[in-house]
C-alpha cells in the first residue's frame, strides 16, 4: 500500500554501500590503502616535508586538482558541504605530524546548525601542501625500492593549494542576506592578507569580524570567494545558493496537503494477548459515518509491515496518509454508511501471530462498540500485504476458539499467502553493506558534521536492520538471508506449516464469510532485465539523474529519500571506480550480486594511476526455485525519480543538495509478491513452478473465482487507488449470489441488489445446470461454480453437488488425540477448503467409562486432549451438510502412548518427614529427582522436535498445578511439591495413604506429550 509497509531493505543495501568512503578497512585479502601508504612512506623524514602535509601520503576522497584556487571555476569545483567534508578528510589524511588534524577534528566535533533568518555562515578551507615532483625519481631526488620511497639530500617537493568554501545553507526564501565567516569555520595553515566575496555586484572585503550584506536573485546565485595571500597571489573558490519563492505563511511541506477530519473520530491503543511471551499493540483510528455516535457499520483497514523510524511516534503510514486522502474510502463512508477503522501496528516486525492476537482484541472491541448502538451490521475487513495474512490468522483463530468475529467480508489485497520474494542479490548486498558500515566512524562524522539537521547514519542502519532481519521478515520471505549472510528458511517453513494447517476462515457459523483476493500482479510473462540495479561511479560527470529505487520490503514508502542521501555520499568519480550489479537469476548458478570498489591513487613521479581494490563481493544463485521469472507485483523504481518531498526526506531532514553527486545509478523494476501467492494457489510447502506461471483453473485458488488479477503487473504499494479495482470491490460489497452451498435440484439462487436482467450459468454443465430464473438442476457429483452476470459485472459462487465420502483417521499426537476426516472422492479431494464450507463435522470422544463429549466445527480435523496416562478412548465422527442432514458416521478406538521411560516415580515419606525412593533407600530431598528418557526402538514418527519435552506441569492431588523446570531429563522433586506439602503429609496421613501427583511433559508449544503419575506413600516407620 502506498501505505502499509512490509519492508526488507533490499536496494537500500546497494546505496548504503555506495555511500561509504573508501578509506575503511578492507575485507579478505584486500589490504587497506592506509596501510599501503604507511609502508610506502615509512622511510621519509617527515620533519623535512614543508607544511607537514604530503599529498602523496593522502587518501584522496576528492580531487584536489580542481580545488587549487587557480583553475577556472566550473560546475564541478563548487563544493557542497558534503564534498567540503571529504576535502578536509583528504587533507587530514595527508598530515604527517598531526598539527592540521587537530584543527580539523575540532571542526568535525563542533555542533553545526542551520543559520536563522537571513544569516548565512560560510566554512572556508585554505591549505598549502607538499607533493613529490614529477621528475623526482628520474632526477634522483628520491629512490623507490620494494614499494617504498627513500629521500636523498635533495629537495623533492613542490607546493600546491587547497581552496574551497561551503555553507550548510544551500537555499533560502530571503532576498536580502548577511554573509559571515565565524572564526571556528576558517581552517588554514597560512596567513591571509585579504578575503573578499562577490555575489555578482563586485568583490567586497569580509573577514572573521566583518560581515557582508548581499541581495539574491530568484533562482541560482553564485558566491565567489577570493583569498589574497601575503605574497600577493589571489585564489578563487565558489559555491551556489538558491533563492526560492516564498510560500504563504504557515504553509510547509508537511501541511501543503491537509486532510479533513471528522469530529466523531478518535484514536485508541489496544493490546493483544501474548504469543509465546510476545505481546503487541495497535493504534486504532476510526472515523464515523453520518450521524453515527459509535461504530455501527465497520470497514476495518489493516496495515501490513510498517516499522517505525527510530525515535518517531509513527510509522511511515497511518490514518492521515492512507485513509483520510482516499476518495474511494470517503465515498464508502459518506455514501454507504461505513465507519472507517484503521489498524496501525506499533511493532509490525514481531511474529505475525502476535499481531494477529492483537487484531482479535481490536475486533472484539469493535463488536463491543457495535453492541452499544444495538448494531446488527457485519464487519467488512481488508488487509494489504502482511495485513491480509494477519486478518486470515485472526479470523480463523477466533473461529477455532468459538469466538464470534461477526465478519461477513474479508478482502486480501496483494497478501503473500505463499510468501513474498525479494531478489537474493539485494538481500546479499545488504549483508555486505551492513558489515561495511559497522566501523565507518569517518562516514558518520562527515555526515553529522555537515548535515546540520539531524541525519543519523546509526538510526538509518537500525531502520535497515528492522526491515531486513525482523521476525515477520523471516516468516514472509520465501528466501530469507539471515544477519550472517546465509539462506535460512526455517521461520518461513514453520509459518507455512502453521498457515496450511490453520486454513482459511469460514464464518462464525462455519459458513457465510465472503472471501475476495486482489493481486497487484498479472499473469503476463514478465520481462526480465539484465540487472535490477547497476551503479557506476565512473559513468559520467555532472548532476546525477537519480532514479532511486523503492525498497522492496517497504511497500507504500520507498526508501528513495534514504537512497538519494546515501548515494550522494560516495566520493567523486575521479578518485573512485565503483561497479555494482544486482541481477535476476534466469537459471541456477547465475551471478546475482557483484560489488567492486577501487580507489584510484595517482603519483606524479611514478607514472600510471594505481587502482587499489578496496572492497569486493560476489554471490551466485543456489539451486532453488527461480522466483525472478514468476509473474509478480512489483516495485517500479522509475516511478519514484528523485522525489524527496513529503516522504522520508522530511522525517530524516535529508538536505536537497545530497541529490547532486557524481555516481550514475540505473535501477529497474523489482518483483515482490508472486501473483499466485496473492491468490493462495497451491501450497507454500510444496513448490510447483507451473502454479506460479499461469492463471488458476476452476478450484486452484483458495478464493475460488472471487479474485481480481491485473492485465499488467502493478506496484505492490498501490492500495485502493486503481479505479477498476475499486469498482470491482464495490460490486462485491453491495452484490453477491445467495443460495445453498450444498446444491440440489430445484435449489434457488438470486443476486442481491441486482439492477435489470441477470443471466445465469454454471462452469460445468456435467455437474449442474441453472436456468434463467436461478433454479438449479443437479446432473452429477463434484464442485462447480454458479455464475451470474449483471450490468456487465460477473459474480461467482462455488457449490458442492452430492456428498463426498470420508474416512476417520486418528493418531496420538502432542497435546492428545488428533482426529482427521479424510475425503476419499477425487471429485472433492483437491478442493478440501471449499468442501468444508458446505459441511459441518461433529466430533465425539469417550474417555473410558465417561459419557461421550461432542464438539462441532467446520474443520476436517480436531485435537482432543489427553487427560491421564495409559488412556483408552473411543472417537466418533458425524458429517452434516448445510441442510443439517447426516451424510456420514464413523468411530474408532485410540490410546495414549508413553514415549518416555521413567525412573523414580514412587517415593515414601515417614513421620519425621524423611524421604525414601521406591526401594526404601533414604533420599536427600534437596537432590531427589524424577528422571525420564526417550524410549529405545520407538517409531521414527516420534523423533520430531515436537516430541521434545521442554517444560512440565506438576498437578497435585487436589488439582492445583504449577510449572516445573526440566534440567537435562530430570525434574527436581522439591519443585513438584507445595511448600507445606511435606508437613501436611506428616500431620494428616494414615498409614499407607497414597498421594498421586501428575507430571505433564510439554513441548515448545506447551502441548502435552505424556502424563506421568508420581506416587508418594506415607509410612510412619519405613522399616515396618
**Quick one: pLDDT at residue 717?**
86
Higher-scoring residue by pLDDT: 857, 970: 970
The CATH number assigned to the domain holding 873 equals 2.60.40.10
Return phi, psi of residue 427, to 5°: -65, -40
Verify that 933 and 881 share a domain, yes or no. Answer: no
Question: Do 782 and 821 share a domain, yes or no?
Answer: no
- 846 in a structural domain: yes
Choose the most confident range, by mean pLDDT, from 42-56, 104-118, 522-536. Answer: 42-56
Nearest 5°: phi and psi at 612?
-115, 115
Indicate if 861 and 927 belong to the same structural domain: no
Answer yes or no: is 464 within a domain.
no
Q: Give me the pLDDT at residue 852, please.
A: 93
Residues 706-755 pLDDT 10s = 899 999 999 998 999 999 999 999 988 888 899 988 899 999 999 998 88
pLDDT recorded at residue 612: 59
Nearest to 181 by CA among 225, 211, 213, 226: 211
Instruction: Report d(CA 544, CA 531) in Å as an integer.
Output: 20
Instruction: Please give the Cα distance from 160 to 748 (Å, whole number).
Output: 94
Rounded Cα–Cα distance for residues 850 and 868 (Å): 13
Quote the pLDDT of residue 572.
41
Specify whether 793 is located in the same domain as 820. Answer: no
pLDDT band at 208 (very low <50, low <70, confident <90, very high): confident
What is the pLDDT, as a whole number, of residue 21? 34
- Residues 347-368 pLDDT 10s: 999 999 999 999 999 999 999 9
Section 141-152 average pLDDT: 92
Domain that holds residue 832: 806-895
333 pLDDT above the threshold of 50: yes
Helix, strand or coil for residue 232? coil
Plot region of 310 (φ>0 → left; ψ -120 to 50 → alpha; else → beta): beta
**Contact between residue 888 and residue 806 where contact means Cβ atoms under 8 Å apart:** yes
pLDDT value at residue 104 = 86
The 3-state secondary structure of 11-43, one letter per residue? HHHHHHHHCCCCCCCCCCCCCCHHHHHHHHCCC
pLDDT computed for residue 101 by the predictor: 87
Instruction: Count Cα neighbours of 155 within 13 Å in the Cβ-side half-sphere.
Output: 8
> How confident is residue 382, by pLDDT bands cut at 50, 70 and 90?
very high
pLDDT of residue 160: 96
Domain boundary among 189, 220, 243: 243
| Cα Rg of the chain, angstroms | 37
* Choice among 37-46, 676-685, 877-886 with the minimum mean pLDDT: 877-886
Examine the domain organization and report whether 189 and 44 are in the same domain: yes
Please give the pLDDT value at position 506. 87
Whether 482 shows a pLDDT value over 80: the answer reads: yes
Q: Are 333 and 295 in contact (CB under 8 A)?
A: no
Whether residue 238 sits in one domain with residue 122: yes
pLDDT score at 143 = 93
Q: Is the pLDDT of residue 643 over 50?
A: no
Task: Let me know if residue 657 belongs to a domain.
Answer: no
pLDDT above 80: residue 228: yes
The secondary structure of residue 731, as a DSSP letter, is H
User: Structure pTM?
Assistant: 0.71
Q: Are 345 and 259 in contact (CB under 8 A)?
A: no
pLDDT digits (tens, 9 = 90+) for 847-868: 988 999 999 887 888 999 998 8
Q: What is the arithmetic mean of pLDDT over 311-321?
A: 76
For all residues of the chain together, what is the average pLDDT? Answer: 82
Domain end marker among 243, 270, 302: 243
Residue 103 is assigned to a structural domain of this protein: yes
Residues 101 and 224 grouped into a single domain = yes
- Distance of alpha carbon 152 from alpha carbon 139, whole angstroms: 11
Is residue 155 pLDDT above 60, yes or no? yes
408-412, 533-537, 871-875 — most confident range? 408-412
Q: What pLDDT score does 603 carry?
A: 78
Q: Identify whether residues 155 and 28 lie together within a single domain.
A: yes
Question: Which range has the worst mean pLDDT, 344-348, 379-383, 403-407, 574-578?
Answer: 574-578
CATH of the domain at 743: 2.60.40.1080
Q: Is residue 535 part of a domain?
A: no
Whole-Å CA distances, 145 to 31, 43, 148, 307: 19, 11, 5, 56
Q: What pLDDT is recorded for position 28?
A: 29
Residue predicted with more confidence, 807 or 450: 807
Contact predicate 560/316, CB 8 Å: no
- Do 789 and 823 lie in one domain? The reply is no
Average pLDDT for residues 405-409, to the nearest whole number? 96
Mean pLDDT, rounded, for 230-248: 87
Whether the Cβ atoms of residue 208 and residue 182 lie closer than 8 Å to each other: yes
Q: Which helix (H) or strand (E) holds 104?
A: helix 99-109
By C-alpha distance, which of 80, 104, 109 is closest to 91?
Answer: 104
The whole-angstrom separation of Cα 874 and Cα 894 is 6
Same domain, 812 and 908: no
Q: Which residues pair with 207 in a beta bridge?
A: 210
User: Residues 215-220: what's their mean pLDDT?
Assistant: 90
> Please, are residues 625 and 687 in contact by the beta-carbon 8 Å criterion?
yes
Q: How far is CA 751 from the centre of its chain?
A: 41
Mean pLDDT of 21-26: 30
pLDDT at residue 512 above 80?
no
Q: Is the dihedral of CA 626, 677, 640, 558 positive or negative?
A: negative
Between residues 827 and 387, which one has the greater pLDDT? 387
β-pair partners for 635: 670
Indicate whether 890 and 904 sit together in one domain: no
Average pLDDT on 226-230 reads: 96
More confident call, 927 vs 563: 927
Torsion sign, CA atoms 924, 930, 936, 940:
negative
Going by the DSSP 8-state scheme, the letter that residue 772 receives in this structure is T
Instruction: Pick 414 or 551 by higher pLDDT.
Output: 414
- pLDDT at residue 925, rounded to an integer: 86
pLDDT range class, residue 698, cuts 50, 70, 90: low
d(CA 587, CA 624): 10
At 833, which helix (H) or strand (E)?
helix 832-838
Q: Percent of the chain, pLDDT > 70?
A: 81
pLDDT tens readout for residues 934-958: 998 888 888 888 899 999 999 989 8
pLDDT at 3: 29
Could you give the CA distance from residue 548 to residue 552 in angstroms, rounded to a whole number? 12
Q: Which among 443, 244, 470 is positioned nearest to 351, based on CA atoms?
A: 470
Please say whether the beta carbons of 381 and 411 come within 8 A. yes
Residue 532 to residues 14, 552, 634, 636: CA-CA distances in angstroms? 11, 12, 12, 10
Question: Which residues sit opposite 782 in a β-bridge?
Answer: 801
Per DSSP, 981 falls in state: H
pLDDT at site 616: 76
**Based on the domain organization, do 871 and 915 belong to the same domain?**
no
324 in any annotated domain: no
In this predicted structure, the answer to whether residue 40 has a pLDDT above a threshold of 60 is: yes
Between 549 and 863, the more confident residue is: 863
Give one DSSP letter per residue of 410-446, joined into a string. Answer: EEEES--TT-B---HHHHHHHHHHHHHHTT-HHHHHH
Q: Which of 778, 801, 824 is the last residue of a domain?
A: 801
If one counts the domains in the chain, the total is 4
Which tens digits make up the pLDDT trace of 786-811?
999 998 888 988 899 998 888 999 99
Kindly report which listed range (40-54, 464-478, 540-554, 614-628) carries the lowest average pLDDT score.
540-554
Give the number of C-alpha atoms closer than 13 A to the C-alpha of residue 712, restricted to the C-beta side.
4
Q: In Å, how far from its chain's centre is CA 702?
A: 25
Q: Average pLDDT, stretch 414-427?
A: 92
Q: Does residue 98 lie in a domain region? A: yes
Q: Give the rounded percent of residues in the chain with a pLDDT score beyond 90.
A: 48
Q: Which residue has the higher pLDDT, 636 or 762?
A: 762
- Give pLDDT tens digits for 651-674: 333 333 333 334 455 667 789 999
Q: Per the domain annotation, does 915 fall within a domain?
A: yes
Amino acid at each position: 500500500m502506498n501505505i502499509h509497509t512490509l519492508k526488507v531493505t533490499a536496494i537500500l543495501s546497494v546505496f548504503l554501500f555506495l555511500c561509504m568512503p573508501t578509506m575503511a578497512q578492507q575485507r579478505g585479502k584486500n589490504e587497506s590503502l592506509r596501510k599501503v601508504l604507511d609502508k610506502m612512506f615509512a622511510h621519509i623524514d617527515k620533519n623535512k616535508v614543508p607544511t607537514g602535509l604530503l599529498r602523496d601520503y593522502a587518501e584522496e576522497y576528492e580531487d584536489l586538482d580542481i580545488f587549487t584556487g587557480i583553475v577556472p571555476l566550473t560546475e564541478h569545483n563548487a563544493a557542497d558541504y558534503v564534498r567540503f567534508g571529504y576535502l578536509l578528510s583528504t587533507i587530514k589524511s595527508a598530515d604527517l605530524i598531526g598539527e592540521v588534524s587537530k584543527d580539523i577534528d575540532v571542526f568535525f566535533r563542533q555542533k553545526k546548525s542551520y543559520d536563522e533568518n537571513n544569516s548565512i555562515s560560510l566554512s572556508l578551507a585554505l591549505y598549502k601542501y607538499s607533493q613529490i615532483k614529477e621528475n623526482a625519481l628520474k632526477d634522483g631526488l628520491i629512490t623507490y625500492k620494494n614499494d617504498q620511497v627513500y629521500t636523498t639530500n635533495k629537495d623533492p617537493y613542490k607546493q600546491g593549494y587547497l581552496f574551497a568554501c561551503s555553507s550548510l545553507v544551500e537555499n533560502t526564501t530571503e532576498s536580502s542576506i548577511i554573509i559571515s565567516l565565524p572564526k571556528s569555520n576558517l581552517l588554514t595553515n597560512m596567513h591571509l592578507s585579504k578575503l573578499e566575496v562577490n555575489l555578482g555586484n563586485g568583490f567586497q572585503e569580509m573577514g572573521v569580524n566583518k560581515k557582508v550584506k548581499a541581495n539574491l536573485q530568484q533562482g541560482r546565485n553564485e558566491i565567489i570567494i577570493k583569498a589574497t595571500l601575503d605574497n600577493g597571489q589571489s585564489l578563487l573558490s565558489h559555491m551556489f545558493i538558491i533563492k526560492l519563492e516564498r510560500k504563504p505563511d504557515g504553509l510547509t511541506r508537511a501541511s501543503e496537503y491537509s486532510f479533513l477530519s471528522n469530529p466523531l473520530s478518535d484514536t485508541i491503543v489496544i493490546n493483544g494477548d501474548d504469543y509465546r511471551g510476545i505481546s503487541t499493540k495497535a493504534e486504532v483510528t476510526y472515523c464515523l459515518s453520518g450521524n453515527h455516535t459509535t461504530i455501527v457499520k465497520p470497514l476495518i483497514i489493516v496495515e501490513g509491515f510498517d516499522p517505525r523510524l527510530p525515535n518517531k511516534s509513527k510509522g511511515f503510514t497511518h490514518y492521515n496518509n492512507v485513509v483520510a486522502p482516499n476518495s474511494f474510502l470517503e465515498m464508502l463512508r459518506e455514501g454507504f454508511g461505513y465507519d472507517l477503522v484503521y489498524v496501525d501496528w506499533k511493532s509490525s516486525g514481531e511474529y505475525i501471530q502476535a499481531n494477529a492476537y492483537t487484531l482479535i482484541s481490536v475486533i472484539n472491541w469493535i463488536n463491543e462498540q457495535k453492541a452499544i448502538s444495538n448494531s446488527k451490521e457485519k464487519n467488512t475487513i481488508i488487509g494489504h500485504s502482511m495485513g491480509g495474512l494477519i486478518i486470515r490468522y485472526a479470523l480463523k483463530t477466533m473461529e477455532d476458539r468459538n469466538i464470534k468475529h461477526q465478519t461477513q467480508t474479508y478482502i486480501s489485497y496483494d497478501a503473500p499467502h505463499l510468501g513474498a520474494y525479494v531478489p537474493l542479490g539485494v538481500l546479499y548486498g545488504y549483508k555486505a553493506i551492513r558489515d561495511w558500515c559497522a566501523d565507518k566512524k569517518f562516514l558518520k562524522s562527515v555526515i553529522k558534521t555537515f548535515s546540520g539537521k539531524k541525519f543519523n547514519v546509526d538510526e538509518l542502519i537500525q531502520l535497515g536492520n528492522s526491515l531486513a532481519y525482523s521476525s515477520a521478515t523471516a516468516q514472509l520471505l520465501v528466501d530469507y538471508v539471515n544477519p550472517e549472510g546465509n539462506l535460512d528458511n526455517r521461520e518461513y517453513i514453520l509459518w507455512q506449516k502453521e498457515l496450511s494447517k490453520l486454513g482459511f476462515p469460514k464464518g462464525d457459523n462455519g459458513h457465510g464469510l465472503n472471501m475476495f483476493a486482489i493481486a497487484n500482479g498479472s499473469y503476463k510473462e514478465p520481462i526480465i532485465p539484465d540487472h535490477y540495479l547497476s551503479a557506476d561511479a565512473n559513468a559520467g560527470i555532472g548532476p546525477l539523474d537519480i532514479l532511486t529505487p523503492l525498497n522492496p520490503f517497504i511497500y507504500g514508502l520507498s526508501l528513495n529519500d534514504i537512497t538519494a542521501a546515501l548515494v550522494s555520499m560516495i566520493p567523486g568519480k575521479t578518485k573512485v571506480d565503483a561497479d555494482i550489479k544486482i541481477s535476476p537469476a534466469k537459471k541456477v548458478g547465475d551471478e546475482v550480486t557483484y560489488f567492486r570498489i577501487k580507489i584510484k591513487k595517482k603519483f606524479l613521479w611514478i607514472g600510471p594511476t594505481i587502482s587499489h581494490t578496496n572492497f569486493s563481493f560476489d554471490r551466485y544463485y543456489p539451486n532453488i526455485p527461480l522466483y525472478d521469472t514468476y509473474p509478480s507485483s512489483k516495485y517500479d523504481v522509475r516511478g519514484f525519480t528523485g522525489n524527496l518531498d513529503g516522504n522520508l526526506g522530511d522525517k530524516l531532514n535529508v538536505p536537497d543538495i545530497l541529490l547532486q553527486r557524481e555516481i550514475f545509478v540505473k535501477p529497474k523494476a523489482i518483483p515482490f509478491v508472486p501473483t499466485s501467492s496473492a491468490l493462495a494457489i497451491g501450497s507454500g510447502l510444496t513448490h510447483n513452478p507451473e502454479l506460479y506461471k499461469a492463471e488458476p483453473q476452476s478450484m486452484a485458488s483458495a478464493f475460488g473465482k472471487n479474485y481480481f488479477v491485473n492485465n499488467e503487473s502493478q506496484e505492490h504499494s498501490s492500495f485502493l487507488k486503481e479505479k477498476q479495482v475499486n469498482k470491482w470491490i464495490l460490486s462485491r460489497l453491495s452484490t453477491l449470489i445467495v443460495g445453498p452451498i450444498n446444491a440440489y435440484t430445484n435449489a434457488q439462487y438470486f443476486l442481491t441488489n441486482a439492477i435489470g436482467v441477470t443471466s445465469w450459468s454454471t462452469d460445468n454443465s456435467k455437474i449442474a445446470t441453472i436456468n434463467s430464473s436461478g433454479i438449479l438442476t443437479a446432473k452429477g457429483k463434484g464442485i462447480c461454480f454458479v455464475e451470474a452476470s449483471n450490468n456487465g459485472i460477473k459474480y461467482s459462487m462455488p457449490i458442492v453437488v452430492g456428498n463426498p465420502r470420508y474416512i476417520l483417521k486418528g493418531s496420538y499426537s502432542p497435546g492428545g488425540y488428533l482426529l482427521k476426516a479424510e475425503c476419499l472422492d477425487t471429485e472433492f479431494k483437491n478442493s478440501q477448503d471449499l468442501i468444508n464450507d458446505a459441511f459441518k463435522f461433529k466430533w465425539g470422544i469417550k474417555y473410558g467409562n465417561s459419557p461421550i463429549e461432542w464438539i462441532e466445527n467446520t474443520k476436517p480435523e480436531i485435537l482432543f486432549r489427553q487427560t491421564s496416562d495409559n488412556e483408552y478412548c473411543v472417537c466418533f465422527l458425524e458429517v452434516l451438510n448445510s441442510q443439517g442432514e447426516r451424510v456420514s458416521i464413523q468411530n474408532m478406538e485410540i490410546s495414549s502412548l508413553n514415549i518416555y521411560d521413567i525412573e523414580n516415580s514412587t517415593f515414601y515419606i515417614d513421620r519425621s518427614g524423611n524421604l525414601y525412593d521406591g526401594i526404601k533407600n533414604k533420599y536427600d530431598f534437596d537432590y531427589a529427582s524424577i528422571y525420564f528418557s526417550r524410549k529405545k526402538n520407538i517409531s521414527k514418527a516420534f523423533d520430531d522436535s515436537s516430541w521434545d519435552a521442554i517444560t512440565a506441569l506438576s498437578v497435585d492431588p487436589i488439582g492445583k498445578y504449577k510449572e516445573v523446570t526440566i534440567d537435562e531429563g530430570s525434574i527436581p522433586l522439591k519443585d513438584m511439591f507445595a511448600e507445606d506439602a511435606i508437613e501436611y503429609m506428616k500431620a494428616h496421613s494414615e498409614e499407607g495413604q497414597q498421594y498421586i501427583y501428575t507430571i505433564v511433559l510439554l513441548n515448545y508449544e506447551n502441548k502435552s506429550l505424556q502424563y506421568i503419575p508420581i506416587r508418594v506413600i506415607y509410612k510412619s516407620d519405613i522399616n515396618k
